A and B are shown apart, each in its own frame.
Chain A
Amino acid sequence: MKQNDPQFNRFGNLHHFLTLDGLDKQTLTGILDAAENFTSVNDKSIKNVPLLRGKTVANLFFENSTRTRTAFELAAKRLSADILNIDLVSSSTKKGESLLDTLRVLESLQCDMFIVRHSDSGAAHFIAEHVAPTINVVNGGDGQHSHPTQGMLDMFTIRRHKGEFENLRVVIIGDIKHSRVARSGISALKTLGAAEIRVVAPNTLIPEYVEELGVKVYSQLEVALKDADVIMGLRLQNERMNSATVPSMGEFFRTYGLTEDRLKLAKPDAIVMHPGPTNRGVEIAANVADGKQAVILEQVNYGIAVRMAVLSITMGHGEAVREAEMAGTT
């Protein structure tokens, strides 16, 4: 499998981090274990480790983001890398410069890693395919396809609270159709062996043939929540509300909002997750978002450790390639 997967280099090492689809259990567990080690770094007063000293990481965000960009920035800094934030939303691409031209310019700045967010599904794959072979590409979210570091921090949060995945019943609520977070979560949960994944939303937010991803589709939240161990909310984008997709915020909350009463249908120790930012009173009631079962802020915190793990693992292998090429063993 690794031979055909563009994420792996010819030595079989994880070189890019583009999607969780196709990564095996061992790879995912390896990232979670590494993140576990980094959480202790984050708890110390001096939070830096010198793993990526002298490396330059560029945040290439073609789409607006504060939270994800900041989390990557912090992760890179704690690994002692230099980080370059390049705002591409308002600059070059608007002037008609092609994505590839932009990449070539950034390549010439001698960066070692690109962290990419782009509104096109497959953009991270495209960039990984076309950058110089020494550069690592990490997907910070591509269109509706994948958000693999979010997926991993979700898995990390679940593992911290629940230990193993095998017996877990996970419910994902809301806009599955347009959500890269949902796709990455589903893919990782399948690989890590979750017992059951349920998705629940009005049919307008469920993509075609989603069952083939290995999930069960529910239309009634109350039914879907029964005996759940993990409940994942998704952000409903503003443009989906008051449209032909969802008639109103009010109706969505009435039918699919996670309230205290509904939460009682899940297991008493169920955790409530959300990638943020939450729409209180739309996907989730304020008292649930702030309640004792919510782990939403923990997710944000773990996001740093997980991204430190992803950056160091992919970059570590990048180093091996560079050394091999310099030694002429190619």
Chain B
Amino acid sequence: MSQATNNSTIKGARLIDSAANVDTTEDIHIVDGIISSKPATDSQVIDATGMVLSPGFVDLYARLREPGLTRKGTLKSECHAALAAGFTTLLCSPDTHPVIDSTATVELIRQRAQQGGGARVIPLAALTTELEGQRLSEIATLRDAGCVGASQADQPIADTSVLLSAMEYAATFDIPLLLTARDPQIGGAGCAHAGAVATRLGLPGIPAATETIGLARLIELCRDTGCRLHISRLSTARGVEQIAAAKQAGLSITADVGIHHLFFTEKHINGFDVNFHSSVPFRSERDRDALRTGVTDGTIDAICSDHAPHDTDAKLAPFPSSAPGLSAFDVFLPLLMQLPALLDTPLSKILAAVSTNPSRILASDKVASTLAVGETANLILFDPTTPVQCSSAKLLSQGSNTPFLDCDNADIHLESGLPFSGKAHTAWVRGEPTTLSQ
């Protein structure tokens, strides 16, 4: 990746910024890192005919693994991989070692991320210390140190009184909570959706009820506390209905879905394929279709990567003992580019789900997502039609745990009949361009 000159003129790109109702083909300029209507004299011209320019994507859930788990990924490797996926801003999950429950860890991540380059990292604070679900972390202090929200990663708070208290406290400071809906007991020992496939394979199941009960608990406490609640990584049809009803009732609730959950179902784990072992399991076709509809009708606001890079050893084990999660960055853009056709939805709506909507959910000036003239350039320019092959030689993430790795025909897994294409050309992060087209 080479650094271009800082001033650019992007010619012929389709500009899409759904928050501002923009979907037009015209030239745009970046001067001294600022989006501008006029070019600088030394502007480098990028012929972007056929390409799309969007506000940089904002990932609401990614595991970057540093500190502590650098055999799986580093801030440097994952932030560069994220950029090629279109993300200029990443919310990193707090389940690092140590957990993100102190300002020292936040500061460490900030420094390492800055040294490493690539996408900008904003940590999510652990809502409870060590994510143990017992004592609250200093979330107001952590917010001031740079966290935009708090999360429990994959560990639900077991004690409902602690959860109530955490939501009351977060509401005091208007700190958004990004929580995954899960009952702390049901399905805790499971590794696959409790359905026909898990039954045949004898895999301990994770019933849909773990999400619906977890969600009911969160929704009721949100109603009582008035906290800003974002449901991270929805997986069930019933869950989508619950979110729709909560929104209807006027609660300040938003939701996202992991990109892979819009494609995969329980059927993909046939043959004990560990690449499809995910902490939020792939569920039935009906669930997947409801998630797709949720994205189309806006019940689901955002699409996240749920990126979970692993070292090779972590996946070299029988299915139940293999580490859950899929590395997503290296395939995110080609998957995303299938969605307009697959969901029969305009590209602008899909891009909103990964850029302007996450920005709106966080409502923080740290994660502004816009094409507006006068703003700092956090942009992604990509060609939606460039075919992608996910080969081990070209992987950017340290995690090679994706079913698409060295797969001649991605459609074996997707069965969409659509091209697997979409490649980033240039990303601007805080006005600084990075060329990604090599």
Contact = CB atoms under 8 A, between A and B. Distances in A.
Contacts of A121: 201-204, 272, 318-320
Given A98-B313, A100-B316, A122 B203 contact: yes
Contacts of A122: 201, 203, 272, 318-320
A208 B202 contact: no
Interface residues of B, number: 21
Contact of A145 (B196, B202, B207): B202
A100 B207 CA distance: 30
Contacts of B320: 120-122, 143
B200 A213 contact: yes
A240 B272 CA distance: 26
Contacts of A99: 317-318, 321
B195 interface: yes
A122 B319 CA distance: 6
Interface residues of A, number: 26
A143 B196 CA distance: 17
A180 B200 CA distance: 10
B280 interface: no
Contact of A123 (B195, B205, B318): B318
Contacts of A213: 199-200
Nearest to A118: B318
Nearest to B192: A121
B198 A126 contact: no
Contacts of B316: 98, 100, 130
A212 B204 contact: no
Nearest to A125: B272
A118 B321 CA distance: 11
A210 B313 CA distance: 33
B199 A120 contact: no
- Point out which of A98, A121, A210 has the most chain B C-beta atoms below 10 A from its C-beta: A121
A212 B195 CA distance: 10
Contacts of A98: 313, 316-317
Nearest to A187: B200
Contacts of A6: 271
A158 B46 CA distance: 75
A146 interface: yes
A105 to B, nearest CB: 15
Nearest to A178: B202
B194 interface: yes
- Point out which of A21, A207, A210 has the most chain B C-beta atoms below 10 A from its C-beta: A207
B198 to A, nearest CB: 7
B204 A144 contact: yes
B319 A209 contact: no
B195 A208 contact: yes
B187 to A, nearest CB: 11
Contact of B201 (A145, A210, A212): A145
Contact of A126 (B194, B313, B319): B319
Contact of A183 (B195, B200, B204, B271): B200
Contact of B319 (A120, A130, A207): A120
Given A125-B272, A208-B207, A146 B317 contact: no
Contacts of A143: 202-203, 318, 320
Interface in B113-169: none
Contact of A210 (B199, B272, B317, B318): B199
B189 to A, nearest CB: 12
A99 B318 CA distance: 9
B183 to A, nearest CB: 15
Interface in B313-336: 313, 316-321
8 contacts: A98-B316, A99-B317, A120-B321, A122-B320, A208-B194, A208-B198, A208-B207, A209-B195
Interface of B: 194-196, 198-205, 207, 271-272, 313, 316-321
Given A121-B201, A121-B319, 14 more contacts: A21-B200, A98-B317, A99-B321, A100-B313, A120-B319, A120-B321, A121-B204, A123-B318, A126-B317, A126-B319, A142-B202, A145-B201, A208-B194, A212-B196
Interface of A: 6, 21, 98-100, 118, 120-123, 125-126, 130, 142-146, 180, 183, 207-210, 212-213
